[in-house]
Structure 1
């Protein structure tokens, strides 16, 4: 029988310790003195992102023994690439700022952006539990939040941005959560790729088989269950082409490049109910450098390389990006803003992203000069900007073609002016095994699969077509925590 050697455990630990920034707190699963081909834990969690760490923390606090398995040498999922925005309402941060919102309004907005196809039960649970996640992150993980910005609908004042020196802010969130994992003495095994979720003859999940450092096999028994928190399959071009079509597979990747579909490949033998497999989260991205302008698309004009507008700037950054390959064959456009918005923290952050990535953007004191620098048709861009400004001042922006239906469209008239090139990119998939409110994966008969749980971007059902920014991180926290508690309770009954 294969044994997990002292060298592999030390190598796993060193890989984690030497990884940059946010992974300095992680460590290997066991000391080398506990070698063996088989290990036993109450809860096995696959994936060291927001959902996986939330599950581990809650399982540990519930008295269980969890372990996190991560195939990369550090947390490399979408959490660290995100803006660190948690979409939530009824929070202590909102109350401190006097923000007025209701659960019903939030629910209606969530359902509206999902075209009414988001699972109503899961959406209701999300809305009701979203505020708890902000408090939990503060109380348990020491997370602080920046003052809320009043963004355009549907974000409004619900986007809670993690505060701290790390950028993007999702990396700061991951650092806080990893610190908490270390404090609670929860083992994390990096460079450990799960190759199978094991089961008994009647398809109850019993544990996993994993390869450590690409060379040694270890079997881990999960007394309470296995939690799949692997993210989705946006970096797997074969799966993207299969479920969404070949054109979509050519969109540049905005998120992690290592989320390759283990939520599908590892769970297939359990016959899960896969839903929303053709749906995904898209967003603007500077293709060559991966600088992410995200919601800056709502702060100015969006123009093609021929200088003309192509979409209503009221659209969420998700819908803007997903529409681009359809509306623009080469999937390339510009965000045009002026100096009136550069003092807004949301915009400042996005400009700094371009600067840190050394992504090219253009600035000038006139629209004519801006067009020349950006390689846009000068006369066309000047005409488009002038017509737009006139329409806004006359209160007729909604009559433009395409319309601009923002409640308060922003004028483009104060120098300096800026042009940010971007493309429509793919961030994450919305499809996967459907779960219950208890984070249990459902089979094709609609019955819970014993011992198999899902959280984060690994699941399907909650989101469809579009989402309110920050919803995936919040959902990862909600069902990651629920899965940890449920699996811990199941372990006590084993």
Structure 2
């Protein structure tokens, strides 16, 4: 992305801290910088801030929070760090993993107590997909839109100047890599330059940049059907600016996948239906994976099937867990949920071989009864067999969010390849390297927002202190 030398005649406006991107990371950074006494200008390219935060389910994983203590959940930074390293097979950057593990709970408690963000815990997600205990903190409505709206309101109350329709298309810098300001192109095509003492990049990942995806994420080479389910503005600009300024990048092939995107509707299927006893078959009527081993890696499992699709199968009891959630209501209203009274009738609605599906059905019943072992390693014991009215939703695999990015230190300050710090550049959210290691199978549920909020807060604190100094 373009860099330019600092204008000799100065900038149109000077601000202590400029933050680019008004998602969870940028808004959290802005709140922390304001708490640190800095004047903050938060720039968002969209007229209406939404982005990946609004598109998510609004969950952030965090360890050692007051919510956990109130529920008797024994968790701390060491346990979270151990889970991160185990999930990523030791491939997560230890420094970033330790930083997130030690500061995530502090960040959630601070947002609740200082800025009235209405986090609460979702108990249904205890002990799934690599978390040894429940760390799922979300909104009452279980939507990212509520989280995003709450952060925007908190920023306004804190005195953050948020400018929307403001696309940063150029970063100014000195020869030593010090960022001195940005150029902003407004929606009416007017241009202005803004100088700063500290710059925070929170422009999210690069999922919408097809060239960067092709260059860095090779896993999808064998699965050409994948869909990108993320914000169209996630073009990797922040990462590219950081590299141009001399920053190092890491884990660029890491991404969050999801094997339960309703096809062809592009709406997520709430995975509680599977976690609590539902299962997935392909168009041949056969199971093909341990559906609860890896919620991210399941994306590739589905994409490797004929037609790159699968069917999630569940019953009324599992439907009751999700039918009040907005995504499921949308799917039901669109006719995406096929329903029948018998497995044979359901197979007909799915247009899959009834004989194979009935055989799969019988196998799952034996697994639930403890009379057989799952060839894919899933433990069905303790899960009641599906019964009553039955349902199915067709799904495909998707890329939700890239996880690689700029390498940062304990204060979210961007590092050079030699480990030294860039003078005044900070990064968070999808712009910074996350805790997911490499590939698709290191992603912990809610790590995206958990890392965004944690590094965002640290970036804001550090930027404010640097501007003050």
Shared fold per TM-score greater than 0.5 = yes
Structure 1 residue 201: Cα displacement: 2.0
1:304 aligns with 2:282: yes
Mapped contact 2:121–2:136 kept (Cα < 8 A): no
Any unmatched runs of 5+ in structure 1? 1-35
**Secondary structure of 1:219's partner?**
strand
Partner of 1:259: 234
Within the candidate set 356, 363, 367, 2:343 is matched to 367
1:46 aligns with 2:20: yes
**Secondary structure of 2:271's partner?**
helix
TM-score (norm. length: structure 1): 0.86
| Inter-partner Cα distance in structure 1 for 2:39 and 2:65 | 31
List 4+ stretches of structure 1 deviating above 4 A. 345-350
**Secondary structure of 1:437's partner?**
coil
Residue range with higher mean Cα deviation, 446-455 or 315-324 = 315-324
Partner of 2:111: 137
1:438 aligns with 2:416: no
| Inter-partner Cα distance in structure 2 for 1:83 and 1:372 | 32
Mapped contact 1:140–1:180 kept (Cα < 8 A): no
Any unmatched runs of 5+ in structure 2? 1-9
Mapped contact 1:88–1:159 kept (Cα < 8 A): yes
Matches within 5 A, 1:96-135: 96-135=70-109
Mapped contact 1:114–1:467 kept (Cα < 8 A): yes
Mapped contact 1:291–1:359 kept (Cα < 8 A): no
| Inter-partner Cα distance in structure 2 for 1:249 and 1:49 | 29
| Inter-partner Cα distance in structure 1 for 2:444 and 2:302 | 19
Partner of 1:295: 271
Mapped contact 1:293–1:353 kept (Cα < 8 A): no
| Inter-partner Cα distance in structure 2 for 1:270 and 1:359 | 50
Mapped contact 2:121–2:135 kept (Cα < 8 A): no
Mapped contact 1:143–1:163 kept (Cα < 8 A): no
1:360–1:132 distance in 2 versus 1, CA, 3 Å = same
Partner of 2:151: 177
Matches within 5 A, 1:364-443: 364-396=340-372, 399-405=373-379, 408=381, 410-443=383-416
| Inter-partner Cα distance in structure 1 for 2:320 and 2:36 | 45
| Inter-partner Cα distance in structure 2 for 1:112 and 1:425 | 24
| Inter-partner Cα distance in structure 2 for 1:56 and 1:439 | 14
| Inter-partner Cα distance in structure 2 for 1:372 and 1:211 | 54
Residue correspondences, number: 449
Mapped contact 1:432–1:459 kept (Cα < 8 A): yes
Structure 1 residue 137: Cα displacement: 2.2
| Inter-partner Cα distance in structure 2 for 1:184 and 1:215 | 29
TM-score (norm. length: structure 2): 0.90
1:287–1:298 distance in 2 versus 1, CA, 3 Å = same
1:383–1:249 distance in 2 versus 1, CA, 3 Å = closer
Mapped contact 1:146–1:163 kept (Cα < 8 A): yes
Partner of 1:285: 261
Structure 1 residue 461: Cα displacement: 4.8
Q: Deviations over 1:168-206 (max 9, x none)?
A: 611101111110111122111111111122111221111
Structure 1 residue 458: Cα displacement: 0.9
| Inter-partner Cα distance in structure 2 for 1:425 and 1:71 | 25
1:268–1:346 distance in 2 versus 1, CA, 3 Å = farther
1:321 aligns with 2:299: yes
Partner of 1:33: none
Structure 1 residue 301: Cα displacement: 0.8
Mapped contact 2:368–2:385 kept (Cα < 8 A): no
1:294–1:124 distance in 2 versus 1, CA, 3 Å = farther
Structure 1 residue 207: Cα displacement: 1.3
Within the candidate set 39, 42, 64, 2:38 is matched to 64
1:468 aligns with 2:441: no
Structure 1 residue 359: Cα displacement: 5.4
- What is the Cα-based RMSD across aligned positions, in Å? 2.2
| Inter-partner Cα distance in structure 1 for 2:190 and 2:147 | 32
Mapped contact 1:252–1:287 kept (Cα < 8 A): no
